[in-house]
Structure 1
Amino acid sequence: MSVAPTAALPASRRTMGHVALHYGQKEEASLAARLLTTTGYVETQSFPLPDGSSFYRFVVDRHHHARGDGIVFLSLLPPAQAAVVDAARAALGFGTADEHPSIAGLRAAIDADPEYTFHLGVLLDSLEELERVVEELQRLNRDDPEMKGRLKITMNRARRGEPAVDARLDASPVFGDVDRYCYGRAGVQAFIETDILVAGPLADSMVLELDYVFPGHDSHILSVVES
């Protein structure tokens, strides 16, 4: 494994500006927005579009409200893109008895590793907040009329070896029984796969990711990837 040098990097600063997400069904605009709000994104703007769908602007937290970075735009999957998806699904027999085996292969890969395809991750500065969000999403997936059964939540805990981190996660209400591990140390990941949002080659679901890194560690899940 090699780590890229940093000495030659330019002095100017950059931040991640924005990402555009899509919901798949026009009538689920408000549901998609509610899902993002539940995961902690802050809605700053929404308005209807001529096609009857809705457009939203979110930010990662309240500190980014008027900034030009940390933005998530949410809208309906565009018609031209949806047409390509429909054609691909038809050609591959998506959801039929004659479905192309590559679809099952992709599904198995995502089940094994939610990071396998496109996903959006956000870093939280509080493990307690991450735990609270996960518990609320679990409740919604269990009880909410609109979200019940539509959220697949997968957890990764930090690799063992740091006694304080291990003890905290063993006592966690959401990570205590987890036997999946991150590609690194001193951090945790929660993945929420849902068909309320769509991405990927078949636009059938998307994965949101919530991360936390324990303080005081230069080598952690988001700084050094371990195989």
Structure 2
Amino acid sequence: MGSKTSLGHLALHFRPGERALAVRFFELLGARVQEFPNKFSDEPLYIIAMDSADPDRADNIIYLFALKPAQLELERAIAESLGANTAEPHPVLRDFLEQRAQWPESYLHFGLHFSDLGQLEAAVLGLRKEMESDPAFAARIQSMQVLKARGEEGDIEIDDRMAASLVFSEAEDYAYGRHGVQVHVRTNLFATGIDMFGSVVELDYVFTGPGRERNAFNSLIS
């Protein structure tokens, strides 16, 4: 009998007082967001259902809540020790930040898979529109790396779809596995670990069908 285990949830944290910006990010991705009281904090707890059409499952969800005071104090000490946000940061911090800016997907990140390419494109366009209209939101998106799909030679459907896309037609680089697109969003709207280092969110979609068996999710990358 095969495994029926699924990815249950991911816990993310926002800085106290910044919940509206963090929640807005996921709303723009098309998720359903529910707010609940949090007995451990003055800030609420959010349950984010990434599949908004089926929001009451016990898996495929994100818990979003405020960073604890103990972590905030720890990070202040780390930032001071490493010279974060100064003209002369510690060399190890400088090198880390420079390489992650160049290769965001190679560091700790989480991926959100879209079953419909149009919905992924709508999410990216929504993020871009929000960045244009809200400087406070835009300041928290450090970069957005767009990688288009590459099919096997002669896969006209993928080539035509990429050429017609408002998101991927201008992309110069390809995703790492065949038949898929990737968008890497680097942001400090929320934390997956150490808040001062921000987070990377990958948005992806994979074309399927005969001849498209090789992709980044079946260990046949080429």
TM-score, normalising length: structure 1: 0.86
CA contact (8 A) 2:188 2:195 kept: no
Partner of 2:50: 60
TM-score, normalising length: structure 2: 0.88
SS in structure 2 of the partner of residue 74 of structure 1: strand
Cα deviation for residue 22 of structure 1 reads: 0.9
- Equivalent residue letter for 1:20: A
Cα deviation for residue 118 of structure 1 reads: 2.0
1:156 aligned to which of 136, 147, 150: 147
2:18 aligned to which of 23, 28, 52: 28
Partner of 1:165: 158
Say whether residues 1:222 and 2:207 are aligned partners. Answer: no
- Equivalent residue letter for 1:209: E
Residues 1:205 and 1:225: Cα distance change in structure 2 (over 3 Å): farther
Query: For residues 139-182 of structure 1, what are the alpha-carbon distances to aligned partners after superposition, in whole Å with 9 as ceiling and x for unaligned?
Result: 11122243133222211112354332122112211111111221
Cα deviation for residue 183 of structure 1 reads: 1.4
CA contact (8 A) 2:182 2:203 kept: yes
Residues 1:225 and 1:45: Cα distance change in structure 2 (over 3 Å): farther
Partner of 1:11: 2
Q: Distance in 2 between matches of 1:97 and 1:30?
A: 31
Say whether residues 1:117 and 2:111 are aligned partners. Answer: no
Work out the number of aligned pairs and report it. Answer: 217
Cα deviation for residue 200 of structure 1 reads: 4.5
Say whether residues 1:191 and 2:184 are aligned partners. Answer: yes
CA contact (8 A) 2:150 2:158 kept: no
Cα deviation for residue 202 of structure 1 reads: 5.4
Partner of 1:213: 206
Bigger shift: 49-58 or 34-43? Answer: 49-58
**Aligned alpha-carbon RMSD (Å):** 2.0
CA contact (8 A) 1:45 1:56 kept: yes
- Equivalent residue letter for 1:175: F
Q: Distance in 1 between matches of 2:72 and 2:107?
A: 19
Residues 1:31 and 1:202: Cα distance change in structure 2 (over 3 Å): closer
Q: Distance in 2 between matches of 1:127 and 1:74?
A: 26
- Equivalent residue letter for 1:13: K
Bigger shift: 134-143 or 155-164? Answer: 155-164
CA contact (8 A) 1:189 1:210 kept: yes
Q: Distance in 2 between matches of 1:95 and 1:105?
A: 14
SS in structure 2 of the partner of residue 196 of structure 1: coil
Percent identity reads 30
CA contact (8 A) 2:214 2:221 kept: no
- Equivalent residue letter for 2:82: L
SS in structure 2 of the partner of residue 118 of structure 1: coil
Query: For residues 24-59 of structure 1, what are the alpha-carbon distances to aligned partners after superposition, in whole Å with 9 as ceiling and x for unaligned?
Result: 2x1111221111111122113332555422211111
Cα deviation for residue 17 of structure 1 reads: 0.4
Residues 1:167 and 1:205: Cα distance change in structure 2 (over 3 Å): same
Gaps of 5+ in 1: 1-9
1:90 aligned to which of 80, 88, 97: 80
CA contact (8 A) 1:142 1:149 kept: no
